[in-house]
Structure 1
Amino acid sequence: MPTPGHLRRERRALVRLREERIRDLGGLMLEMYRRDHFRQDLVVDHCTELTELERRLHELDSLLATTAVGRSMGGAARCVCGAPIIWGSHFCANCGRPVGDAPVVVCSQCDRPLPAEAHFCAHCGSRVEVAESPDTSARPIGEASPDSAEPERQPKHPVDSIER
């Protein structure tokens, strides 16, 4: 696809040519009237050329409109704050809002977002188990963890687990 600059240049040249052809057609019609000799085939040829120019102008306008829409979107999605969203990201780099329709998968231990193919959490190091059951260690953000309803007391150190 040609660049928008090329499209605009071609459009400007065609507009100038169209104006010139319309002026020529008007002059031709005036001369035919003055001489009282009307040639329909000559008028039809000029009008056909003009309609072809207008068809191409309409085509260029459509192409320019689609490139303008693509440029206004920046070619990429934008956050509510206006910052471009990097493909594959879960959050806006500018304001931190979650982006996308898919829920963000977070670690069950530290609630940090996880990359798509992660096997371990980069923050806390816990293993991420991907399972089909809803009771997984990776869960969408905002969901309560399975053990959050009734927290278990786990020893912080192996020595603490020894009963006295």
Structure 2
Amino acid sequence: MPLFSEINPANAAILLSAKGIQLVSTPTPADIQVIFDPNGPYGALLFKEMQAAYPFLPVRWVPVGVFGNNSIEKTATLLASTDPISALETDLQQFNNHAANGGGLIVNPQAPPLPAETQRLGKAMLVWGGFTPMVVFRDSQGRWLRTGGASLVVIKSVLARAASQ
């Protein structure tokens, strides 16, 4: 069973201010957020597991460039993409654990630098635990909780506690 830790409202605001990619449109923002590094194998694994089991689940994927040797550039490319959903899917569905840079997304050297909000989130998530993927969600009492892991057990536990899922 995954462990959950509470995130205070100020830290949740940091997450919500960072640019993300919501896969399923809803009238309100997704209650489930996944902080991931585009070069991280476990983020790619979680993405594939979630897409297979819950293709219509509204989840906001929030990239941070903290681990890989070109993670910052890849995060900037994702966020600047004209079709961020397609870019996210390309990167995480084509992930190669044996490649130095993992995902299938080609870095755009012309991409603008990371937004300040994304940089702030990258620093904050290192303090929150420093792991990706980090699943952050609002529970039925309105609290923001975080956990980690790349398995359906984690997602099922999150869904059992999430506010509107």
- Greater relative CO (CA pairs within 8 A, separation 6+): 2
- TM (norm. structure 2) is 0.20
Larger radius of gyration: 1
- TM (norm. structure 1) is 0.20
Larger fraction in strand: 2
